[in-house]
Chain A
Amino acid sequence: MILEFVVSAIGLGALYALLTIGVALLFGVLGLLNFAYGEIVMAGGFALYLFRDQPWALSVGAAVVLAVIVAVVCEVLAFRPLRDADPITLMIASFAVSLAIQSLARMTVLPRAQGVAPEPFLGQRFQLLGADISVLEIGTLVLCGLILGAVAWLMTRTSLGIQLRAAAENFEMASVLGVRANLVIPGAFAIVGLLAAAGSVVLVARQGAVSAEMGLQPMLIGVVGAVLGGLRSLKGAALGGFILGVATTLLETVLPTGLIAFRDAVLFTALIAVLVIRPQGLLSSAKVRVS
């Protein structure tokens, strides 16, 4: 019982951390709180639906490719002309991008939700130390853990990662020192596309369906997690997402059945409380000036 809870809590925590990093990365580099993130996830799900009859590796590859393309196209068409705009303008623009992608999906293939049967092996369950655990949960945990590790490696060990972190720290200084904005920013969007694709693979496997509205939940999770952890640092954001996942699992276990439907209300009240009391995020030490 305890072990089952721990596995599902850590699995969901890892998934939420993955989603959160996708939001925090762009905020760090561009000051963009990306509401279109959910639609990039949806693009991944869309590819999974189109290639649902192909081998698993192929459909996952297609999801990655499509999500990365959508993310980079968003950057070029919508966010590049607004590069120096203030955060609220960017936020409204990302709203518009989100609506545009959703309507495109609705106009073409997804006027209503479409089922995508998960791979049969994901539904199997096995016994581990007396606990009943599904392959899906372990798979979620392993995949998200791997991607998180890969992102950590990318950000610390590669040239692109170091340039990204420099740009997030101080964009002007970084560009003076030779970091090229038109290389780094599309690079950040491509990484976000990759993260979103991984998120979509897990989400579609859990839900068994794709729809034009499927981006809403991951987007809200990413934003809440990132704000909770502190938008300025990726580690803080990842930890914030992880805590959010664990808290969600905990709430679902602890809350009486009648109140589970109000889970979002509880989470968002907590979010407001964090914002009002600690605007820099729970885990960030950076000072954010409050007015």
Chain B
Amino acid sequence: MRNKFDWLQTPALLVGLCVLCALVGAFSGGALGRVVTMTLISVVFVAGLSVFTGNSGVMSFGHVAFMAVGAYATAYLTIPVPLKNTLFPHLPAPLAWLGEVHAPFPEALVISGLAAGLLGLLTSPIVARLSGLQSGIATLAVLVIVYNVLNSWTDVTRGSSSMIGIPKVTTVWTALAVVAITIVVAWAYRCSRSGLQLKASRDDFWAAEAAGISVGRHRAIAWVLSAVLCGISGSLYASFLATFNVSGFFLSTTFAFVVMVVLGGYLSLSGAVIGAIGVSALQELLRRLQDGGLTGGVALPAGTADLLLAAVLLVILIKAPYGVMNVRELRLPRPRGKGGDKPRQADQTDPVRLTSGAMQ
């Protein structure tokens, strides 16, 4: 018999992994502590992204746009009003209320998530209607549009100047709490009716349609939910760094997150979380290598870290296109020889060729 609490195993293990990271960060402090907090924020983002990509099998290149919306919303809500009035002296009349609003951090976090969710709702027809390459391009277009607007609407977003003066309230523990909630929400969606139907459409699109599943609707639901989670990660990002620049929400960031999900395995939540932690550690290692921290002060030219990261991604794509975890989830090893372990075997089969299945 399977245990009643069996389905909680994976989220518990994943949260445990993040707690371990947080403990490492909290006790080492300093530079490593910052890295750990950024890693946890990446975990929030990647788990949010995985709500959409992992369940639908459709890759998205546009989620950084939601992160950007979350970060800007947090900036408007938490920068003290007097400072805000000097930062944004030319707010157009219909948006003048932005200069007056203020919210304490926990509320700002939630509102930022909802703001990103609103953008998700607006863009959901795209993913409801397209799959494969076309949805890849369309989601990239969403990113370009949001970036272009944020970069050019100088009166409202400060354009290419950095946003400054956001109260720094995120600590490693707030990040950990949000990570835990995100992982539980992502897992709960995966096990929900809608998540199961979406996963069915991932494995065989036409069979799912034929069985009466409204694939477009479930994709839209997952898209909005993942937008909310990514918006929350943007809010954490803003309130951890206290300052950010619009250039942080474009292709290079997208690329870093894509490396995380692809390396870990973009079909599984465990893969996404492990990928985020692994790639963050790798990036930090490469950064130190590039700065000469590991080679005894011999700094390598700028760009070495990016080059190596790209090489790692290419090797992974060639050798294991579904990442380290494939479609498996993290579980405790079971005692052997009891038989009837069907679900575990089913977990280990190769995934179907997703895009070819979805695109026909």
Given contacts A93-B314, A107-B303, contact A88 B148 (CB under 8 A): no
Query: A207: CB under 8 A from chain B?
Result: no
Chain B residues, CB < 8 A from A275: 126, 130, 134, 137-138, 141
Interface residues of B in 247-266 (CB under 8 A from A): 251-252, 255, 258-259, 262
Interface 0/1 of A65-108, CB less than 8 Å to B? 00000000000001001100111110111011101101111111
Chain A residues, CB < 8 A from B136: 33, 87-88, 91
Interface residues of A in 216-254 (CB under 8 A from B): 216, 220, 223-224, 227
Query: A121: CB under 8 A from chain B?
Result: no
The reply to whether A276 and B307 form a contact with Cβ atoms under 8 Å apart is no
**Residue from A87, A93, A99 whose CB has the most chain B CB atoms within 10 Å:** A99
Query: A268: CB under 8 A from chain B?
Result: yes
Query: B145: CB under 8 A from chain A?
Result: yes
Chain B residues, CB < 8 A from A279: 130, 134
**Residue from A92, A220, A275 whose CB has the most chain B CB atoms within 10 Å:** A92
Interface 0/1 of A262-282, CB less than 8 Å to B? 101100110110011001000
Query: A291: CB under 8 A from chain B?
Result: yes
Stretch at the interface among B3-11, B74-82, B225-233, B351-359: B351-359
Query: A289: CB under 8 A from chain B?
Result: yes
Chain A residues, CB < 8 A from B302: 106-107, 111
Query: B149: CB under 8 A from chain A?
Result: yes
Chain A residues, CB < 8 A from B262: 92
Query: B144: CB under 8 A from chain A?
Result: yes
The reply to whether B304 and A223 form a contact with Cβ atoms under 8 Å apart is no
Given contacts A33-B137, A85-B317, A276-B138, contact A262 B301 (CB under 8 A): no
Query: B165: CB under 8 A from chain A?
Result: no
The reply to whether B311 and A92 form a contact with Cβ atoms under 8 Å apart is no
Given contacts A262-B149, A272-B141, A275-B134, contact A290 B129 (CB under 8 A): yes
**Chain A, interface SS category:** helix
Query: A50: CB under 8 A from chain B?
Result: no
Q: From the candidates B152, B307, B310, B355, name the one contacting A261 in the complex (CB within 8 A).
A: B152
Q: From the candidates A86, A108, A223, A265, name the one contacting B356 in the complex (CB within 8 A).
A: A86
The reply to whether A264 and B145 form a contact with Cβ atoms under 8 Å apart is yes
The reply to whether A271 and B317 form a contact with Cβ atoms under 8 Å apart is no
The reply to whether A88 and B307 form a contact with Cβ atoms under 8 Å apart is no
Chain A residues, CB < 8 A from B181: none
The reply to whether A88 and B132 form a contact with Cβ atoms under 8 Å apart is yes
Closest A residue by C-beta to B59 = A88
Given contacts A95-B255, A103-B303, A223-B137, contact A289 B317 (CB under 8 A): no
The reply to whether A269 and B145 form a contact with Cβ atoms under 8 Å apart is yes
The reply to whether B306 and A99 form a contact with Cβ atoms under 8 Å apart is yes
Query: B215: CB under 8 A from chain A?
Result: yes
Query: B167: CB under 8 A from chain A?
Result: no
The reply to whether B145 and A216 form a contact with Cβ atoms under 8 Å apart is no
Interface 0/1 of B274-311, CB less than 8 Å to A? 00000000000000000000000000011111110111
Q: From the candidates A97, A106, A261, A264, name the one contacting B144 in the complex (CB within 8 A).
A: A264
The reply to whether A262 and B321 form a contact with Cβ atoms under 8 Å apart is no
CB of B17, distance to nearest CB on chain A (Å): 25
A106 CA / B310 CA spacing, docked (Å): 14
**Residue from A95, A106, A227, A279 whose CB has the most chain B CB atoms within 10 Å:** A95
The reply to whether B149 and A291 form a contact with Cβ atoms under 8 Å apart is no
Interface residues of B in 313-346 (CB under 8 A from A): 313-314, 317-318, 321
A272-B138, A275-B126 given; name 18 further pairs at CB < 8 Å.
Answer: A85-B321, A86-B355, A87-B355, A88-B355, A99-B306, A100-B310, A100-B311, A103-B304, A107-B304, A227-B137, A262-B149, A264-B144, A268-B144, A269-B145, A271-B137, A275-B138, A275-B141, A289-B359
Binding site for A on B (CB under 8 A): 59, 125-126, 129-134, 136-138, 141-142, 144-145, 148-149, 151-153, 205, 209, 215-216, 251-252, 255, 258-259, 262, 301-307, 309-311, 313-314, 317-318, 321, 353-356, 358-360
A-B contact pairs, 16 of them (CB 8 A): A33-B133, A85-B317, A89-B317, A97-B314, A100-B306, A103-B306, A107-B301, A111-B301, A111-B302, A262-B148, A264-B145, A268-B144, A268-B145, A275-B138, A290-B130, A291-B358
What 9 pairs across the A-B complex have the smallest Cβ distances? Answer: A261-B152, A103-B303, A106-B303, A100-B310, A103-B306, A103-B307, A86-B355, A107-B301, A107-B303
